[in-house]
Amino acid sequence: MKTAIRRAIRTTIESKMNEMKKSVITYTDIEPTISQINAVRTACEAVAKAENAECRFASIVLTNDETIHIYNREFRNVDRPTDVLSFPADEGDDLIAPPDGFLGDIMISVPTAIRQGAELGHSTERELAFLTVHGMLHLLGYDHMEPSDEEVMFARQREIMAMPEFEGLD
């Protein structure tokens, strides 16, 4: 009887721990809509599923052009806003011991996503999902600095964005 109770308690605790290891979405200097936040969450979960990384998680910050410009200048020496920045947890000296499963941070400019979505003829939610997929793949080690790496990463982005989770994000 005690073993069954312990097993049940342990299962409950492990379940709660897994729930806590979901990607965290915050925002600063903007007020995203629920549908925008949901698009980002869906993208995080889709990448984790596609990459067999369900136990991995990231921090995603939705922000404006001014804030992302500051980070782009500070960390990439590029003096302009951008759409998405990724900061892998296993790079740099800021974290002494990242939590188990933590991939890193992603910052997305919502105003840029709105503009890019309109320019490309699709919704802001679809663009935010795409930028989240792009950022998550960077955190998982994908890159596009070399043509061969770009081919691999962009093909993976297309495969993930074709998943049923993204149906309806036009």
> Residue ranges per domain, the chain?
23-166
The class that CATH gives domain 23-166 is: alpha beta
Q: CB–CB of 114/132 below 8 Å?
A: no
List per-residue pLDDT tens for the chain, 170 residues long. Answer: 445 554 554 444 444 444 555 788 999 999 999 999 999 999 999 999 999 998 888 999 999 999 999 999 999 999 999 999 999 987 755 555 556 788 999 999 999 999 999 999 999 999 999 999 999 999 999 999 999 999 999 999 999 999 999 998 87
Check if the beta carbon of residue 156 is closer than 8 Å to that of residue 149. Answer: no
The three-class DSSP label of residue 26 is strand
Predicted local distance difference test score (pLDDT) of residue 93: 56
pTM, rounded to two decimals? 0.85
| Pairing state between β 102-109 and 84-88 | antiparallel
Tokens 């596609």: give the residue.
50
- In the numeric block, which tokens belong to residue 80? 């302009």
pLDDT confidence of residue 23: 83
Q: CB–CB of 129/169 below 8 Å?
A: yes
Identify the pLDDT of residue 55: 85
Residue carrying the six token digits 């709105």: 114
Provide CB contacts within 8 A for 101, sequence distance 6+: 21, 55, 56, 57
Q: What angle do CA 25, 48, 132 make, to 5 degrees?
A: 45
Predicted confidence at residue 10, as pLDDT, reads: 43
